Structure 1
Amino acid sequence: MSNPIADPGHGHSPAAWTAVIIMLVAFAVGTAAFYLDVPWLVYTAVAFIIVGLIVGFVMTKIGYGVNGPKYQPKEH
């Protein structure tokens, strides 16, 4: 019949979780700052979104990504 598709992992790694948490907090703060009309905080939140991307990339490169040597997948 058909072959099952392998699970790609969906980014469940310390690198992905750290990056997403940083970016979600930055987005929430930026949204509140935009609503309250605090432009410097909006720009700071945008900078932290970029920092979140960089942190995720660096953590992936040092081995905390999905296929990295320091990543220990959990059993389901």
Structure 2
Amino acid sequence: MPDSYADVVERLCGEFDGRVPLPMVTQIVRQCCREASSADSHFPADPTPRGLEGLARQRLQAAATRGGTTGSGDETS
């Protein structure tokens, strides 16, 4: 498979470097991957790496705007 989960994480880490911490990028991609694979997902996600990357990018842009929080209650204080 030429495009994998790791490729998606690597590209998004580069794109959001300095705005969203690496662990959060990985967490969001993992969460999107689970949701895209879920039959009962209410997110219009394409389970391919391209669809996964698009969904994760949207969430990372929102997290970058909020200052690096996911807004899903999983932040640590």
TM-score band, normalised by the shorter chain? 0.3 to 0.5
If each structure's helix is expressed as a fraction of its own residues, which one has the higher value? Answer: 1
TM-score by length of 2: 0.34
